[in-house]
Amino acid sequence: SQQGEEDPQALSIQEGENATMNCSYKTSINNLQWYRQNSGRGLVHLILIRSNEREKHSGRLRVTLDTSKKSSSLLITASRAADTASYFCATDRRQAGTALIFGKGTTLSVSS
Amino acid sequence: DVKVTQSSRYLVKRTGEKVFLECVQDMDHENMFWYRQDPGLGLRLIYFSYDVKMKEKGDIPEGYSVSREKKERFSLILESASTNQTSMYLCASSLWGTGTGEQYFGPGTRLTVT
């Protein structure tokens, strides 16, 4: 089945720096989403980008989608210690429309 | 705010026990999901439901069953717990028609089977 794969697996930066995470997937999608998970907690939805959109912003988050390359990126600008978390991309499943497929995640560590 | 609650944050059970994990959402969502999360494997879909008494297998349904008798409640059942079912279990819900839209997650249940 199709799956988002995040890259890198882990990322360590200083406060104030930008963090970029990438996601690649295998087959056509309707939309792609990004979620954040703080240590030992549930996931929180960050942003959804549809297949006919190329870029979307939400606060310090910027998501791009390149359907020709089957890839997406999540940029967090001016990172804060509170951004320390795991970030997952998720894509829809064409054959079972209600469920998502999640990638394995990127672990971001922001130090002050 | 959408709220998804799970019956326990931590649970320890013995091999062979029947285990019930409960999930309740308060936003009248049609779709509900059970995932398990393991290091290096990410989130994997066990079962999902798009209506009361309806259920669909996900990617790893073996050893699990589910029950949805009421719209707000989705239960995951481990018929005979085994050590390889030690994991973090996450429940989620979403609106019908946006089933591939935003999912709302509970805090998770960390299950240890000894």
The C-alpha atoms of residue A81 and residue A65 are separated, in whole angstroms, by 26
Is residue B77 predicted with pLDDT exceeding 60?
yes
3-state secondary structure of B84: helix
Instruction: Note the pLDDT of residue B96.
Output: 65
Residues 24-83 of B with CB under 8 A from A: 31, 33, 35, 40-43, 45, 48, 50, 56, 58-59
CATH classification for the domain delimited by B4-8+16-94, as one of 2.40.50.100, 3.30.565.10, 2.60.40.10, 2.40.128.20: 2.60.40.10
* Domain boundaries defined on chain B: 4-8+16-94
pLDDT in tens, A76-107: 999 999 999 999 999 987 555 567 889 899 99
Low-confidence ranges of chain A (pLDDT < 50): 1-2
Using pLDDT thresholds of 50, 70 and 90, give the confidence band for residue B81.
Answer: very high
The C-alpha atoms of residue A58 and residue A52 are separated, in whole angstroms, by 18
Q: What distances in angstroms separate CA A39 from CA A12, A69, A78, A84, B107, one per listed residue?
A: 15, 31, 21, 9, 11
Is residue B100 predicted with pLDDT exceeding 80?
no
How would you classify the pairing of strands B56-57 and B109-113? unpaired
What's the alpha-carbon Rg for chain A, to the nearest Å?
Answer: 13
| Residue of B41, B103, B108 lying closest to A100 (CB–CB) | B103
Instruction: Note the pLDDT of residue A2.
Output: 47
Which CATH number characterizes residue A71's domain?
Answer: 2.60.40.10
pLDDT in tens, B30-44: 899 999 999 888 899
Total tally of structural domains belonging to chain A? 1
